Amino acid sequence: MAQGARRTYGQVAGVLVLAVAVAAFLSVAAMRHGFFDLKVYYGALTFWVHDGGEIYDFLKAGTQYGFTYPPFAALVMLPMAYLPWPAAITVSVAASVLTSAVLIWWLVDPIARRAGWTRWFALAVALCLAAAFEPMRETVNFGQVNTLLLFLVAVDLLRLLPAGNRWAGVGIGLATAIKLTPGVFIVYLLVTRRWRAAFTAMAAAAGASLLAAALFPDASREFWTEALWNTGRVGELAFVSNQSLRGVVARLDPEHPSTLAWLALVLATLAVWAWRARAAVAVGDEATGLALTGAMMCLVSPVTWVHHLVWLIPGLILLVDNAMAVPARGRRRRVLLAAAIIGYGFLISRIVWAWEKDFSGVDGFLGSNTYVWISLALLLGLPIRRWTTPTHGGPGREPGPAGSLAEPGGIPQLDKTDGVTSAGERHRVGGFQPVG
């Protein structure tokens, strides 16, 4: 048997073993939420379309939960009202899996190409690991829209914007019209002075919202004047699933959480994020800009349920990306891989739920906020890469990672040779030097 065939058989066997191991892990670790959130959407749409009620008046029986998204989200989900429940589940799961697979492919493929890995094998391993990732499995089990929103933002930041496409910003605008929190990426575009993309995103968000208002004026009026401000519909801030800075503060004093302390933490977080995001964009590192902004959004949002933490996926993959771009036996590679493994390990472990009933004491403060600490670590420590022109070592050789040494602390500077290669090409095969 040829060596290539043996390698392929070995990789197939490895993927099958990993898939079985992940399935076994999920059988004991994954919670069964019975598509709870999808039932809320489905019930609200059915109540609205078939029963003549207002969509924002609907509450799932025996709960305080109702439809909390803007009217454009209702427009996007409207076909669900005409599907049987099993078909709605199928569409939801398929959409989550497809958008996740494409996003992970965009992030993993450059690593595989630079490291010389078999690309299908790298993607298959990454997808198996993603299936065990608690925010991902919670997104699927709840029937949430998180991966769709992340995908729409990534289309802009990983594909359209680096290529200079004039439509860059539309994905961010549509994601914002579906759920308001991705609007922080419009702020990201403004802070990093990509004016055209920022205004395109604002126009897309406004246009989608106005279209929904024209089609559903009563629902739009109720959302923007009443439902948006009814915070009681989203759940308790101190609940351990709320892995945001607001959740941290609320768990310190559930009866009287300090708004002032929360705002101070938010302002400090935004200052650090703005500094690091601008540094990333200054050297052409759009993927890290995406990861930093996703981590910031999870931190500053008043409510960040565990399933919202799918926004941390780019940061964890980029830790591996940075590790594989430095010398194999160097300390930096070991540190970055250890960080990725530890962060991923905690984010599949459900560790925060050990303090679901009692988050008092030092152990409660540290343990119940574990995912917040991971978001903070990514915001503060995710390396920023300086892209350099790929160099070819000879006929038939693939481009390799350009630099392997971190710059000692200065402001990242773009290489003079950087202009030779387009931003899109840099994302696909270019090398980079970590600078922070």
CA separation (Å) from 383 to 318, 407, 416?
8, 11, 21
Tokens of 25: 């892990």
Beta-sheet pairing, 385-388 with 431-434:
antiparallel
pLDDT at 423: 40
Q: Which residues have C-beta within 8 Å of that of residue 179, sequence separation ≥ 6? A: 69, 70, 73, 145, 149
Q: Which residues have C-beta within 8 Å of that of residue 379, sequence separation ≥ 6? A: 269, 272, 273, 276, 292, 295, 296, 299
| Backbone φ/ψ region at 358: left (φ over 0), alpha (ψ -120 to 50), beta | beta
DSSP labels for 261-274? HHHHHHHHHHHHHH
DSSP labels for 312-341? GHHHHHHHHHHHHTS-TTSHHHHHHHHHHH
Taking the C-alpha atoms of residue 240 and residue 248, their distance in angstroms, rounded to an integer, is 9
- HEC secondary structure over 88-113: HHHHHHHHHHHHHHHHHHHHHHHHHH
- Looking up tokens 């300390």, which residue turns up? 331
Residue pair 172/65 in contact (Cβ under 8 Å)? The answer is: no
pLDDT tens, N- to C-terminus, the chain (436 residues):
577 788 888 999 999 999 999 999 999 888 888 899 999 999 999 999 999 899 999 998 888 889 999 999 999 999 999 999 999 999 999 999 999 999 999 999 999 998 888 999 999 999 999 999 999 999 999 999 999 999 999 999 999 999 999 999 999 999 999 999 999 999 999 999 999 999 999 999 999 999 999 999 999 999 998 888 776 656 689 999 999 999 999 999 998 999 999 999 999 999 999 999 999 999 999 999 999 999 999 999 999 999 999 999 999 999 999 999 888 888 999 999 999 999 999 999 999 999 999 999 999 999 999 999 999 999 999 999 875 444 333 333 333 333 333 333 333 333 332 333 334 444 444 455 555 4
Helix (H, G, I), strand (E, B) or coil at 386: strand
Q: Which residues have C-beta within 8 Å of that of residue 392, sequence separation ≥ 6? A: 399
pLDDT at 6: 84
Residue pair 250/238 in contact (Cβ under 8 Å)? The answer is: yes
Taking the C-alpha atoms of residue 130 and residue 137, their distance in angstroms, rounded to an integer, is 8
Reference 175, options 70, 300, 81, 280; nearest CA is 70
pLDDT at 415: 36
Q: Which residues have C-beta within 8 Å of that of residue 250, sequence separation ≥ 6? A: 236, 237, 238, 242, 257
